[in-house]
Homo-oligomer: A and B are copies of this chain.
Amino acid sequence: MSLLVVGSVAFDAIETPFGKTDKIVGGAATYIGFSASYFHKPINLVAVVGGDFPEKDITLLKKHGVNTEGLQIKKDEKTFFWSGKYHNDMNSRDTLVTELNVLGDFDPIIPEAYQNTEYLMLGNLSPQVQRSVIERLKNRPKLIVMDTMNFWMEIALEELKKTIAMVDVLSINDEEARQLSGEYSLVKAAKKILAMGPKYLIVKKGEHGALLFNHEQVFFAPALPLEDVFDPTGAGDTFAGGFIGYIAQTRDISFANMKRAIIHGSAMASFCVEKFGTERLLNLTPDQIEDRVQDFVELVQFEIPLR
């Protein structure tokens, strides 16, 4: 009954057609943690911030059941900072600023109390850092889920492939799946990527939903058609958090349960994009989440019986 989340805890400054923010709290592990917290507690966090990171935001994580024993605070350094601007269609964005700061030499130390974790979620980080986490665990978790991005495919492909070979579930977007495999067809891309080692591949397609592949099966989960997408930042991490949180809650790593986990992850992501940053993830109720999951059930439901 334990879940370890490793990833960035950061400051973001976001500009969308609907407005812009000052520096607000973001980072893959932050979104994953808040999202997963609606399904499973505690969440054991390994991450690093600088002395500029507000105490109140660490308190907020703790309130959501995030164990921050593994959160390193480097008093004399600055927190990772990312700034981006979304285009009018909200499907693409320009990165304006990336300041690695404390993330530049992040050494992910695993507290002894975090050992023997059953579930491991590796948020986007350098593949070397992700791999060192796996190597530092005395027992291999039942399920290792890994997120990454095109940046690492460009500058550290061999390191990335070494890490991918060690995980159970790889979660990337459609463009990344195409880049990693060299195949445009997502079916062919999935075959090549599964041949790299992972047993499952999740291909996130943003407003077009997500696909789950294993060697024999494929499942498609839609995204909920929304009136407005206010800010897509963190949607992929929120999806991953809902996915791994649901798996940790239900303790079932079958393909059938991964489908349900994807629907729950998609439901969480559909909340995330309704407000700036993590705001919409802070005060959800179980009923709100269940209603949203039901929206997905209704959206795809049709009556043609499976033979």
Contact = CB atoms under 8 A, between A and B. Distances in A.
A103 interface: no
A146 B304 CA distance: 25
A186 B188 CA distance: 29
A264 to B, nearest CB: 9
A225 B229 contact: no
Interface string A184-202: 1111100000000000000
Interface string A205-224: 10011010000011111100
Contact of A301 (B89, B211, B298, B306): B306
B259 A220 contact: no
Contacts of A89: 184
B227 A187 contact: yes
A219 B184 contact: no
A225 B218 contact: yes
A259 B226 contact: no
A256 B208 CA distance: 23
Contacts of A256: 302-303
Interface string A222-261: 1001111100000000000000000000000000100110
Contact of A219 (B186, B187, B221, B299): B299
B185 A219 contact: no
A172 to B, nearest CB: 15
Interface in A250-307: 256, 259-260, 263, 293-294, 296-307
Interface of A: 88-90, 184-188, 205, 208-209, 211, 217-222, 225-229, 256, 259-260, 263, 293-294, 296-307
